[in-house]
Amino acid sequence: MLSRREFIARGTGTAFTFAAAAGSTGLLAGCAKNSSTHPPTVASFHDLAGSRSLRAHARRHGLIYGSAVVIPVVKENADFASLLSEQCGILVPSNELKWVALRPSREAFNFGPPDFLYDFSQRNHMLMRGHTLCWHQSVPAWIKTIDSKDEIRQIFVDHITTVCKHYAGKMQSWDVVNEAIEPDDKLPGGLRKSFWYENLGPDYIDLAFHTARAADPSVKLTYNDYGIEGDSDNDAEKRRLILEMVKGMKNRGVPIDAIGVQSHLNAGEEYGQGVADYIEAIHQLGLEVYLTELDVNDDSTATDDVPQRDAVVAKTYTDFLTAALPNPAVKLVLTWDLSDKYTWLNSLGSHRKKRPNRDQRPLPFDADLKPTDCFYALRDSFNRHKLV
Ligand code: XIL
């Protein structure tokens, strides 16, 4: 019989071969399931806890798996809270650490919800990451009424200092700056024409990282962005601009530890060499890579047949992870929520969902908390591409 390491090194094989190889240990049950077939029925999600979970399979292969969380849901839905604790090794609040949620006024910091999630993550032996200290889409109305650029700069520094100190020694990583590159804005370096850029100037990014480091010396400081995952020319250009920016930061001695690849994918799109090269370039810079917001939008898939749609979504996961995971720089994989019930992709009125009568199924568990093909695609990908 093959050893586990030999078995995995040779690829996943067939489910039959795998079942024989896994023997009676039960440790790797389901590891090598072929993700192109429909998943077996499980009586409840608890059947996939423990050694069968995404969390355990990721860990065995040197990765940490986790999810974004809409915090009120953890309080309201006990089943979902238990699914999170079974499947995730790390959590990130979807919205509650963004400025608009955290800073209802100039004086107030609404730490209650993220503190609740931190306690939940501690009770369940999970890590937590912070998202985000600076994002063009989350700028509270009150700060936009301030005329003095010096005052805005002071508020920016005070915000990052207060928030990072509040969680000093507690977070695994912070998305210090989110989505600062937008080539269409035609600014030097491809910087986005955001509120922060316009009021603080181009050095706001360096300032954010220096301030975060001074407030929490041990947390991993991350630059996070999207639109860099595919093989198109646009994605290639954005990758180039981010790498240029990060090289400049490193040359100037700006503290940065990791780059986040958001990984909001589109069903059926090609993912491969582009993201693999990007991750290797980041690796060469000595930085870690986090896949921070993985999901697959299949709103434009023509068929309404759920098994067919799920197969396309799962293949998109597999193709992307096949390109990304072999690189040792990749340390974290987080999906942007865990259940289709709470995905942001089902918010109507956004260009991400144009079909009022068809919900998307982008995540490892469906709206009834049953595993989808994505669950198996993720788990198989962990098993195939990295060994501790
Ligand atoms: C999204 C949240 O999921 C939504 O609930 C909110 O309305 C808008 O923001 N990239 C990011 C995340 O970095 O912060 C975004 O989260 C999704 C895209």
Per-residue pLDDT tens for 130-160? 999 999 999 999 999 999 999 999 999 999 9
Give kind and range of the element (H or E) at residue 258: strand 258-261
pLDDT bracket for residue 220 (50, 70, 90)? very high
Which of 336, 346, 347, 363 to probe ligand 1 with, by most ligand atoms within 8 A of CB? 336
Residue with tokens 């999600």: 45
3-state secondary structure of 10: coil
Give kind and range of the element (H or E) at residue 294: strand 288-297
pTM of the model: 0.90
The whole-number pLDDT of residue 347 equals 87
Whether residue 277 is predicted with pLDDT greater than 50 in this model: the reply is yes
**Residue 372, both tokens:** 């989808």
Closest Cα to atom 12, ligand 1: which residue? 94
What's the CA-to-centroid distance between 95 and ligand 1, angstroms?
7
The whole-number pLDDT of residue 41 equals 77
Q: Please report the atom of ligand 1 found closest to the CA of residue 98.
A: 14
Residues 354-381, mean pLDDT to the nearest whole number: 95
3-state secondary structure of 130: strand
pLDDT bracket for residue 95 (50, 70, 90)? very high
Q: Residue 265 and residue 277: Cα distance in Å, rounded?
A: 17
Active site residue 96: no
End-to-end CA gap in the chain = 21
Distance of CA 286 to the CA centre of its chain: 20
Q: Please report the atom of ligand 1 found closest to the CA of residue 132.
A: 14
Q: Residue 161 and residue 259: Cα distance in Å, rounded?
A: 21
Q: Residue 54 and residue 71: Cα distance in Å, rounded?
A: 21
What's the CA-to-centroid distance between 286 and ligand 1, angstroms?
28
The whole-number pLDDT of residue 9 equals 34
The whole-number pLDDT of residue 370 equals 96
Q: 130: Cβ–Cβ under 8 A, 6 or more apart, which residues?
A: 92, 93, 97, 163, 167, 171, 173, 174, 175, 219
Whether residue 132 has a cis bond before it, omega within 30° of 0: yes
Q: Please report the atom of ligand 1 found closest to the CA of residue 70.
A: 5
Q: Which of 86, 96, 179, 229 is catalytic?
A: 179
Residues with CB under 6 A from ligand 1: 94-95, 178, 262, 293, 344
Active site residue 293: yes
Q: Considering only CA atoms, which of 235, 290, 215, 225 is closest in space to residue 257? A: 290
What's the CA-to-centroid distance between 363 and ligand 1, angstroms?
15
Which of 173, 174, 292, 293 to probe ligand 1 with, by most ligand atoms within 8 A of CB? 293
CB 263 within 8 A of CB 320: yes
Q: 149: Cβ–Cβ under 8 A, 6 or more apart, which residues?
A: 199, 200
Q: Give Rg (Cα) of the chain.
A: 21
What's the CA-to-centroid distance between 43 and ligand 1, angstroms?
32
For the chain, what percent of residues have pLDDT higher than 90?
84
Give kind and range of the element (H or E) at residue 332: strand 330-335
Q: Considering only CA atoms, which of 321, 374, 20, 333 is closest in space to residue 29? A: 20
pLDDT bracket for residue 28 (50, 70, 90)? very low
CB 152 within 8 A of CB 200: yes
CA-to-CA dists, residue 86 to 67, 175, 376, angstroms: 12, 25, 16
Q: Which of 86, 229, 288, 293 is catalytic?
A: 293
Whether residue 6 is predicted with pLDDT greater than 50 in this model: the reply is no
Which of 173, 344, 348, 353 to probe ligand 1 with, by most ligand atoms within 8 A of CB? 344
Angle, helix 233-251 to helix 204-215, in steps of 10 degrees? 60
What's the CA-to-centroid distance between 350 and ligand 1, angstroms?
12
Angle, helix 373-385 to helix 306-324, in steps of 10 degrees? 20
What's the CA-to-centroid distance between 156 and ligand 1, angstroms?
21
